[in-house]
Structure 1
Amino acid sequence: MDDTMRETARTAARKHALLNAVKHGTDPEVGAVMGPLMGENPDLRQHADDVSGVVAAVVSEVGDLSPDARRAELSEIAPDELADIEAENEADGHPLPDLPNADGYGEIRMRAAPNPNGPWHIGHGRMPAVIGTYRDRYDGIFILRFDDTDPAGKRPDPDAYDWIREAIAYLGFEYDEEYLASDRLETYYEHARNLIDAGGAYTCSCPAGEFSELKAAGDACPHREKEPATVHDEFQGMVDGEYDPGDLVLRVRTDLDDPNPALRDWVAFRMIDETHPRTEAGEIDGYDCWPLLDFQSGIDDHLTGVTHIIRGIDLQDSAKRQQYVYDYFDWSYPEVIHWGYVQVRGDYDVPLSTSTIRERIETGDLDGWDDPRAPTIASLRRRGIRGAAITETMVALGTSTNDIDLSMSSLYANNREIVDAEADRYFLVRDGVERPVVGGPEVATPPVHPEFEDRGRREIPVADTVLLEPDDVPDDGERAWLKGYGPVRADGAELSVIDLEVDTALDEDVPFVHWVPADDTCQVRLRTVTGDVTGLAEPGSVDATPGSIVQFERVGYARVDRHDDETVAHFTHR
């Protein structure tokens, strides 16, 4: 490929990478750019390997641009296409309900506050999808806060911080501010001391069982009336690590007559003797006194100016606990939206549980977090499910308080709309049955894509024998249409080519079936949510770019993972 063609490829790749990124609100991918680029520039097809390298470099460059920079550049090089995208987006309207009292705030600020104890499963994708959509709608602020203050019960995974950051970008969003709660221990200590001064907290050494009995009866703990100076001294002892787990806690003083015992004098700080992973890495000091989530998140929501909180319906008590702290400090509590939980319907045998997925990985039942059998964002990405499709599906669920079943078919339908145009077609046969073919051409020429004739045609050598899937083998005397080749009739064990018009075949329900040559194929391992499937694909499939989406006709879409001794592809969906 000479310099002129290389520059042509680069210019076209830049435009299509920007179009793909702006339209779907996510980073572009090589496969999504190659299809339309080749469609517009068929002369580049003979240099596909060189072009894919150019595209990969351009995709990386566009991926580093901010959404605003992408849109600005596209407005200069392809203003008409950008206008079409914007018109389409405006016609869509708002998929989510209005935020409560949104007009009462100068700026909408919302947070996603994950515990980084592992990569996100599918259900975790709902929060950033909805918050990011609201941020874009109200021109607000998207805060990412890692609630990583439990080094024992929900121990952070050092790799999970980046996994979560990458997942948000994959879903099509950039967060505006980031906080790590484990960086902010001194801030929580300061507010604990202020709470003690306000008469809102006391240290308690009651055994857990004994305090539970007092709480249930609505009786005061004997430590409740300690002098503030004593509480300060004992809390400082907690901060200095002078106590063991269970020896002493700091409680928020609430209403002992509250009808909900769970709200009575709840624990704000406790001792933990597990070393935080970030301490082990030298990123933060060592701490033994850690805030519980309701205290930590309540303080952070106020200090970072959060205006609207979305949380699970089962966490209604959190708002009520935090309200006590807010009342002591004379703070206004953010607006709260409680929603039901998402359960995935279909496909997966593994539950939406980070701990369960981790256990399956540790026992060898799963290969890793991106194993196609794992219901994780990483797995969906490796399978070729686009982040834009996940976001669209999650946003469509709304913010109902009811628990919701997420049908994977809805996600697949949204993804199909995105990937179909870019997916070159190939044939793949599983459990092939061999049949001789007589009286036909030596080469079949099915289209690369049935809707884009300008992409050209594949050339599949037929020789004299083909492989069919068992259910597609016609009985003696029956007819079939070998896709891209022509009509045949079964004459005993042979398939004889016959004269038959396409319209007639359709009217008479002649089955159109895929096939591969018996003597010239490539081995494929198709990784699916139910396990691996092997088959033989047409020889040209080995040229599919790793990372691209293809469609194995009548089987389904797949993302090509790699070409080794065999081609490994991850099944996307039908």
Structure 2
Amino acid sequence: MDEEVRERVEREVEKHALLNAVKHESDANVGAIMGPLMGDNPDFRPHGDEIPGIAGPIVNEVNDLSHEERRDRIAELAPEELAEIEAEDEEDEWDLPALPNAEDVEEVRMRCAPNPNGPWHVGHARMPAVIGTYRERYDGWFCVRFDDTDPETKRPDLNAYDDILEDVEYLGFEPDAVYRASDRVETYYDHARELIELDGAYTCSCSGETFSELKNDGTACPHREKDPATVRQEFEAMVDGEYESGEMVLRVKTDIDHKNPALRDFVAFRMIDTPHPRDVASDYRCWPMLDFQSGIDDHLLGVTHIIRGIDLQDSAKKQRFVYDYFEWEYPEVVHWGHVQLDAYDVPMSTSSIKESIDAGELDGWDDPRAPTLASLRRRGIRGEAITDAMVGLGTSTSNVDLAMSTIYANNRERIDDESDRYFFVRDGTEVQLGGSPPGEANPPLHPDHEDRGVREIPVGDTVLVEPADLPDREGRLWLKGLGCFRYTRDALQYSGEDIEVVRDGDVEVVHWVPADDAVAVRMRTMEGDVSGHAEPGVADLAPDETVQFVRVGYARIDRHDDGETVAYFSHP
């Protein structure tokens, strides 16, 4: 090996040793760096037998440095590789990939742009969860902008505006600003007028079928060459409501030969006869299409990064034509696939859920059988548990499956410590007690928190036990918090045996409630309502308190009606 090659080997060994040590925050070793070293420098391969001997002392020198010294040294030798390592570390910290070119903008600004045509289903949570997390990551800005300029096919629900803002708060975020596109119609008109003056738009009275044939043939619409003055006059007539629905539209001039027919001269404004439900917008009849409205707003609000579904790739392409006319810079775009959710019989779409409610199959948006955020909130599931699950999906362009078990696991971590334990027996079988058991059972409120104390459950002559917990023939049972009983066909006889019989594995441990003092409970679940009885202390729990029904699962206390407590089942 000549001197020049040796010097290169030494430099490359030092670099790879430093990269290895900094990346793993541990000492490097010769074996770990040989693969990357030879891969980056294939001309070293003829000297493969000599290189480990050269590398050993250099690796030892690197290992003698502190982590800060290693980082400073690699910043000198290979700043780009160090940046890649730090970017990977940042992604790991946030469970999300870095936003493209985020370092090139003064402030990362994003928007969550819902259509307020109804309350949110679970899939809607992904957008605010990810955008809100990026806002925190970059100390940026995000708004909720209601894209409500379609008063007919996606007619806004007046209650949905506040419902959606409550859902954003429930997920753990507060937007920096809130906008309603229906408040900004005059702004869209002004930009349409400017686009017309730039000869970037024209009014068209072709029927939808006629224009579709022209577009698909790559033939220009006969109205395309109107002079801007005529287009402006006809557009003002649209604004004044002088045309019927479907009689006139304003189209953006794009590329009539574009390989994608969907991008050829798309509609920017159309006439709609159905009044907007908001009083402030009810007089408008000339409404912008979403691609035009959203594109204008993104620029005016200073949006730097857009996240949207992979099925909306054409939206970015359409909007770029408008941006080119105005000489604006288009935001960075991240496309992702759809979220597919398990565990529900009702399809995860606003229209399908509404149909089920209207048909009486669901009793509201917060029915536990509905795949909505309102339902999860009423079931006692924390918004942060949903946010973490959504962020964990990343931003892949592929459709992703979200198991409700992931949300449940996240929620369990948050509520287990605070959820006191109580007994709840479903469809209980009443059984006589014999053998003089204790007059009161005192199981702990929480097994991990002795300081919270114990429950005081009176023991009468009979108890309720779930039928599946009774043995088919004579045997022993341990009633939790009370003691060991020998079961016969007629009764449970108290035996007084100690806990060792449970530890030996010979006795099943079951929950129970006193028949005379039990509280009637109706527990609402994803499979329907479940009736049963709980121990007396449940009647004193405050609404909205989360508990764990032993051997059943977590639940949120909803209310106490006359003669009945209503609880919503959270998850196992």
The verdict on a shared fold, with TM-score over 0.5 as the criterion, is yes
The within-5 A match list for 1:401-420 is 401-420=397-416
Q: Where does residue 547 of structure 2 map in the other structure?
A: 550
Q: Does residue 376 in structure 1 map to residue 369 in structure 2?
A: no
Q: What is the CA–CA distance in structure 2 between the aligned matches of 1:366 and 1:465, rounded to whole Å?
A: 38
Q: Where does residue 332 of structure 1 map in the other structure?
A: 329
Q: Does residue 344 in structure 1 map to residue 341 in structure 2?
A: yes
Q: Where does residue 95 of structure 2 map in the other structure?
A: 95
Contact 1:475 / 1:490 at 8 angstroms: preserved in 2?
no
**Structure 1 runs not aligned, ≥5 long:** 1-89
Q: What is the CA–CA distance in structure 2 between the aligned matches of 1:278 and 1:181, rounded to whole Å?
A: 11
Alpha-carbon distance, 1:285 to partner: 5.7
| Counterpart code for 2:528 | G
Contact 1:339 / 1:402 at 8 angstroms: preserved in 2?
yes
Among residues 349, 358, 362, which one is paired with 2:358 in the alignment?
A: 362
Q: Does residue 171 in structure 1 map to residue 168 in structure 2?
A: no
Q: Does residue 202 in structure 1 map to residue 198 in structure 2?
A: no
Greater relative contact order, per chain length (Cα 8 Å cut-off, separation 6+): 1
The within-5 A match list for 1:467-546 is 467-546=464-543
Contact 2:128 / 2:168 at 8 angstroms: preserved in 1?
yes
| Counterpart code for 1:408 | M
Q: Where does residue 451 of structure 2 map in the other structure?
A: 454
The within-5 A match list for 1:118-129 is 118-129=118-129
Percent pairwise identity:
66
Alpha-carbon distance, 1:474 to partner: 2.3
Alpha-carbon distance, 1:503 to partner: 4.0
Q: What is the CA–CA distance in structure 2 between the aligned matches of 1:382 and 1:514, rounded to whole Å?
A: 26
The within-5 A match list for 1:23-42 is none
TM-score, structure 1 as length reference: 0.82
Q: What's the CA shift string for 1:12-38, capped at 9, x where partnerless? A: xxxxxxxxxxxxxxxxxxxxxxxxxxx
Q: Does residue 298 in structure 1 map to residue 295 in structure 2?
A: yes
Q: What is the root-mean-square deviation of aligned Cα atoms in Å?
A: 1.3
| Counterpart code for 2:166 | E
| Counterpart code for 1:438 | G
| Counterpart code for 1:547 | D
Q: What's the CA shift string for 1:60-82, capped at 9, x where partnerless? A: xxxxxxxxxxxxxxxxxxxxxxx
Alpha-carbon distance, 1:488 to partner: 1.3
Among residues 394, 417, 421, which one is paired with 2:417 in the alignment?
A: 421
Contact 1:524 / 1:534 at 8 angstroms: preserved in 2?
yes
| Counterpart code for 1:485 | L
TM-score, structure 2 as length reference: 0.83
Q: Where does residue 159 of structure 1 map in the other structure?
A: 159
Contact 2:143 / 2:175 at 8 angstroms: preserved in 1?
yes
The within-5 A match list for 1:23-172 is 93-172=93-172
The within-5 A match list for 1:172-251 is 172-251=172-251
Contact 2:519 / 2:536 at 8 angstroms: preserved in 1?
yes
Q: What is the CA–CA distance in structure 2 between the aligned matches of 1:509 and 1:340, rounded to whole Å?
A: 52
Contact 1:170 / 1:387 at 8 angstroms: preserved in 2?
yes
Q: What is the CA–CA distance in structure 2 between the aligned matches of 1:493 and 1:260, rounded to whole Å?
A: 79
Q: 1:121 to 1:496 in 2, by over 3 A?
A: same
Q: What is the CA–CA distance in structure 2 between the aligned matches of 1:510 and 1:504, rounded to whole Å?
A: 6
Alpha-carbon distance, 1:378 to partner: 0.7
Alpha-carbon distance, 1:192 to partner: 0.6
Alpha-carbon distance, 1:507 to partner: 2.9
Alpha-carbon distance, 1:491 to partner: 2.8
Q: What is the CA–CA distance in structure 2 between the aligned matches of 1:544 and 1:451, rounded to whole Å?
A: 20
Q: Where does residue 394 of structure 1 map in the other structure?
A: 390
Q: Which moved more, 1:429-438 or 1:404-413?
A: 429-438
* SS of corresponding position for 2:241: coil
| Counterpart code for 2:378 | R
Contact 1:437 / 1:464 at 8 angstroms: preserved in 2?
yes
Alpha-carbon distance, 1:506 to partner: 2.7
Q: What is the CA–CA distance in structure 2 between the aligned matches of 1:376 and 1:91, rounded to whole Å?
A: 29
Q: What is the CA–CA distance in structure 1 between the aligned matches of 2:500 and 2:182, rounded to whole Å?
A: 68
Q: What is the CA–CA distance in structure 1 between the aligned matches of 2:337 and 2:91, rounded to whole Å?
A: 29
Contact 1:238 / 1:289 at 8 angstroms: preserved in 2?
yes
Q: Where does residue 323 of structure 1 map in the other structure?
A: 320
Contact 1:521 / 1:536 at 8 angstroms: preserved in 2?
yes
| Counterpart code for 1:542 | A
